[in-house]
Each structure stands twice: as C-alpha cells, then as structure tokens.
Copies of this chain bind each other. A is one copy, B any other.
C-alpha cells in the first residue's frame, strides 16, 4: 500500500471525516435542511474572513468567485488598478480585459509582494483609479503582499479594494474588516481543505453599494442574485450540495481550533521548510515569502521534472513545479490545511533522497534535522 501525500498548493489533502460526510446521501437544496446548512456555514465563513459582511458561496472554482467580485465591483465609469506580481494576478487582469473593464496593469517583479507605496504613486498619478485588485498570497511566486498596508491607502482614497485571498484566507492572517478589504476571495481546495468546486467572496457594505449601483454584465457570476437569495439562506442556482456539506465540517473544525492557532501552525511549517532548505543549501525563491506555500529554487545540475516525478513515484509526495516563466526552475510546497509537522518532515526527507539521486551535494539528514529542530522548539 503506497501512501500518497498531497503537498501541492491546492488541491490539498481532505480530512477523512470530511470525505465521508460528503459521501452521505445527497439531499435537495430547496429545503429547510439546506437553508439551515447555509445559515450555519455563513456564520462560520464570517469568522473565517473576520468580517461582519455577507459571504457569497458560488459553485465553481476560485476563478469564478474572483470574476464575480471584479465584474460586480467595476461597473462602467470605474477604473481598476491591477497589481501584477504573478500568474494569478495576471488572470484578474484578463478578467478586466474580457469584460471590457477600464483598468491599468502595474507590473511588479515576480517574487515580490505589491507595496502600498506603489499603489499610492499609481493612484496619485491617475485620479480616475477607484478600485484596486491584488493577490494576498501569489501562489505562483509564493510571494506575500501586505494587505493591511494597501488597505489603509485604498481606504484613505475611498477606493474599493478587491483581494484574491485564495491561498491566504484560513492559512495566514487575513482580517477583512480590520484591514478594510471590500471583496475577499477564496476557494475550497486550499486552507479549507475541501475538494475543488466552491468559490467564496466576502463583500463589504461599501462594495455592495458599488455593485448595486450598476448593471452587472453576467448572470451566473452576478453577486446581486446571490445576495438576494442569501437573505433567506437560499441560493439562486443549484449549489454543489455535497461540497457545502463538507464545508460545514471543516468550518466547525477551523472555529474549534481557532484561526490564530492555525496561522501559527502554517507559519511554523513554512519556517521549518525554509530552515531545512537553508541547511541543504537551497534558496527560497520569493523575496517576500508567504507562509502558506514555500517556493525553492531548483539547484544547478538538478532536473526539476525528474525531481518531482521521483518525489511522487518513489516516495508518494506530490509537490508543485513553477508556473509561467518559473517552469522547471522552482518547486513549491503547500503548508495549508490537513497537514502537520510530520508530513512536512517526510517531504523534506523525500526531497533529500531525490536530491541525492541526482548527485546534488549536501550533508544527508541536514534538512530533516534542521526542520525537526524548529518543530521541537515549537511543539509540546
């Protein structure tokens, strides 16, 4: 029996009890039972996003949810600033292109987070900009953006702030109301440790005002319809019932554990991984590394594709490669959801074995020893 461990930054491993909950007989969604499920999930989603605002659940990927946020918040007459520091940020620029939303793309070097100063400069140079779109945790580059800092300057300027929190919300600190985020997006297959198929958008009152002020040129991803239904704990279109059933289980577990504790665990996994990498002579890719996913440069002489294939085929660890211009150059490890110190330790161990197989020179065991030291100091 081969044990498979998914350390990709989405999908991540799904807890066994959640999988079994989702395997229970299907129920109809136009029932008091489903309304109660929606009501319970909603209360817990507000906790997850740290908000008092409405949180919309869409049957679709995180991309569907992000599209809904962007197209809703940018009716004609508004102009968006898209902060481009990776593949996912680029996708939100493409949403603007597709819907003909007026916008400016601000290129930021990959591996860096967007900075409040850049936003201030761009907004001061173009007074028409009244919407800012950025990515909290750029999964493709493993870079963190300071959402609190950008939230302060966007709020000062009265702009609407849309944040892709897909590999952030539930994994690292993400405080919608405190930070002044107006539309915060996530997906089910990241920190929520569910299968893919649900997208979420938490929407502030200011964003709702903007959304309700204009015509939204789409039906399925029009948040207005979801808002109207949610008032009666209902949904406009058939929801992904089995996934929502699993959602309640994970949200309860997250609430019980507490977000602060989870954020600390994610940070610990990231710290142990980076420490292990340093002990192995491997370099972290991102200049502003995020704790939910670690990207490491593949060292000279090591074939990235072979490394990842061996990790999976020989040791059962599935990790991610690079995207776009980083293809073949970096490997990425998720620290989200249903994984612990010993999964991460195993991944470091498997990585060592794969590096050794490619004659990379390092002290065998140095990575796991370094990681264990970090864990031993933190875990009791």
Q: In the complex, what distance in Å separates the CA atom of A43 from the CA atom of B10?
A: 27
A248 to chain B, nearest CB (A): 15
Range of interface residues on A (Cβ < 8 Å)? 35 or more
User: Which partner residue on chain B sits nearest A62 by CB separation?
Assistant: B238
Are A60 and B59 in contact (CB-based, < 8 A)?
A: yes
Number of chain copies forming the complex: 2
Q: In the complex, what distance in Å separates the CA atom of A221 from the CA atom of B61?
A: 11
A98 is contacted by which of B23, B222, B241 (Cβ under 8 Å)? Answer: B222
Are B63 and A238 in contact (CB-based, < 8 A)?
A: yes
Are B63 and A220 in contact (CB-based, < 8 A)?
A: yes
**Most central of A10, A13, A62, A238 by chain B CB within 10 Å:** A238
Check: A14 CB closer than 8 A to any chain B CB: yes
Contacts of A173 in B (CB 8 A): none
Are B26 and A6 in contact (CB-based, < 8 A)?
A: yes
Check: A195 CB closer than 8 A to any chain B CB: yes
Contacts of A218 in B (CB 8 A): 67, 98-99, 218, 221
Interface residues of A in 53-84 (CB under 8 A from B): 58-64, 67
Check: A20 CB closer than 8 A to any chain B CB: yes
Q: In the complex, what distance in Å separates the CA atom of A98 from the CA atom of B219?
A: 6
A307 to chain B, nearest CB (A): 15
Check: A242 CB closer than 8 A to any chain B CB: yes
Check: A86 CB closer than 8 A to any chain B CB: no
Are A11 and B241 in contact (CB-based, < 8 A)?
A: yes
Interface residues of A in 1-20 (CB under 8 A from B): 4, 6, 8, 10-14, 19-20
A162 to chain B, nearest CB (A): 15
A60 is contacted by which of B98, B189, B220 (Cβ under 8 Å)? Answer: B220
Are B13 and A219 in contact (CB-based, < 8 A)?
A: no
Check: A108 CB closer than 8 A to any chain B CB: no
Check: A346 CB closer than 8 A to any chain B CB: no
Other contacts beyond A6-B28, A10-B238, A196-B241: 7, CB < 8 A: A6-B27, A61-B220, A62-B237, A63-B219, A196-B239, A196-B240, A197-B241
Q: List 6 A-B contacts (CB under 8 A).
A: A6-B25, A11-B27, A26-B195, A63-B220, A99-B218, A218-B221
